Amino acid sequence: MRMIAKGNIAYYCWLILLLILILQGGFAYLHQFEKGLIVTNMRDQVSWAFYIGNFTFLVGVAAAAVMLVIPAYVYNWGPIKEIVVYGELLAVAAISMCLGFVLVDMGRPDRFWHLTPIIGIMNFPSSLLAWDAIVLIVYFLVNLTVVTNILYSLFMKKHYNHKIVLPLVIFSIPMAVSIHTVTAFLYNGMAARPYWNSAILAPRFLASAFCSGPAILLILFQVLRKTTSFRIKDEAIHKVAELMAYAMFINLFLFFAEVFKEYYSNTQHIVYMNYLFFGLNGKMSPIAIWGWLSVLFGVIAFLIFLFPKTRKNFVAMNIGCVMIYTSVYIEKGIALIIPGYTPTVLGEIYEYFPSIHELRISAAIFGVGFLLFTLMIKVSNSLLFEELSIETIKNREQ
Per-residue pLDDT reduced to its tens digit, 211-253: 988 998 899 888 888 877 777 888 888 988 999 999 999 999 9
> What is the rounded average pLDDT of the residues 74-82?
71
pLDDT of residue 3: 67
C-alpha distance from residue 355 to each of 36, 49, 294, 331 (Å):
13, 11, 21, 19
Neighbours of 364 (CB within 10 A): 23
pLDDT of residue 236: 84
393 band by pLDDT with thresholds 50, 70 and 90:
low
pLDDT at 259 over 90: yes
| Comparison of pLDDT for 162 and 305, the residue scoring more | 305
Cβ–Cβ < 8 Å for 48, 341:
yes
Q: Which residue in 206, 386, 221 sits closest to 314, CA to CA?
A: 221
How many Å apart are CA 383 and CA 154, to the nearest integer?
Answer: 6
274 band by pLDDT with thresholds 50, 70 and 90:
very high
Q: Which residue in 207, 239, 210, 235 sits closest to 91, CA to CA?
A: 210
> What is the rounded average pLDDT of the residues 313-337?
94
130 band by pLDDT with thresholds 50, 70 and 90:
confident
Architecture of domain 2-397: Up-down Bundle (1.20)
Q: Who's near 357: CB < 8 A, 6+ residues apart?
A: 28, 31, 32, 39, 40
pLDDT of residue 144: 92
Helix axes 162-188, 84-105, angle to 10 degrees: 40
| Comparison of pLDDT for 290 and 127, the residue scoring more | 290
pLDDT at 294 over 90: yes
85 band by pLDDT with thresholds 50, 70 and 90:
confident
pLDDT of residue 40: 94
Over the stretch 171-222, which tens digit does the pLDDT of each residue have? 999 999 999 999 999 998 888 899 999 889 999 999 999 998 899 889 988 8
CA dihedral (380, 384, 385, 386) positive or negative: positive
How many Å apart are CA 146 and CA 349, to the nearest integer?
Answer: 47
Query: Average per-residue pLDDT in the chain?
Result: 88
358 band by pLDDT with thresholds 50, 70 and 90:
very high
DSSP 283: E
Over the stretch 13-54, which tens digit does the pLDDT of each residue have? 999 999 999 999 999 999 999 999 999 999 989 989 999 999
Bond preceding residue 167 cis, omega within 30 of 0? no
DSSP codes, 23-62:
HHHHHHHHHHHHH-GGGSS--SS--S-HHHHHHHHHHHHH
pLDDT at 5 over 80: no
- Rounded to 5 degrees, φ, ψ at 82 are -70, -20
- Runs of H (alpha helix) within the chain: 2-5, 9-35, 50-63, 66-69, 78-81, 84-105, 128-155, 162-188, 201-227, 234-265, 270-277, 288-306, 308-311, 314-330, 337-341, 356-384, 390-397
